Amino acid sequence: LGGVKAVEGDTMDSAYWTSRLAFTDLIRHAARDLGKGTAPFLVRFLTQVAARFEIVVSQKVLAEIVPVVGAIGGGFINAAFTDHFNSAARYHFGLRALEKKFGEEAVKMAYRENGPA
């Protein structure tokens, strides 16, 4: 009743760090491959997007874009996890406020009677 269960919190922590590491690895590989001139998936993707908008993109421009893509992707990951933990905190502290007002047992009983199945 005290908020997100420890196991769920550990799972979210694990998912967050796994996402961050995978994305960091993707960006690192893309930057390395751009440096070698082999530039696989990310460069093909960016080139296809640019071609769709009839924009000519050079290898130099792509090399300069990779850190920006990394920063934007990292920002999206951070925003998603921040939103999740803000929701969990609102739920947790909302329950704490109800417990303070009505008592812990009354809140637990109401939760058991009306809570999720």
pLDDT in tens, 41-50: 666 677 677 7
Model-level pTM?
Answer: 0.44
pLDDT at 102 over 90: yes
Other beta carbons within 10 angstroms of residue 66's beta carbon come to 23
In a domain, 12, yes or no: yes
User: How many domains does one find in the chain?
Assistant: 1
Burial 88-114 (b: 16+ CB within 10 A, else e): eeeeeeebeeebeeeeeeebeeeeeee
Is residue 1 in a domain? no
Q: Residue 26 is part of which domain span?
A: 6-114
Alpha-carbon gap, residue 61 to 10, rounded angstroms: 40
Residue 103 in domain:
yes
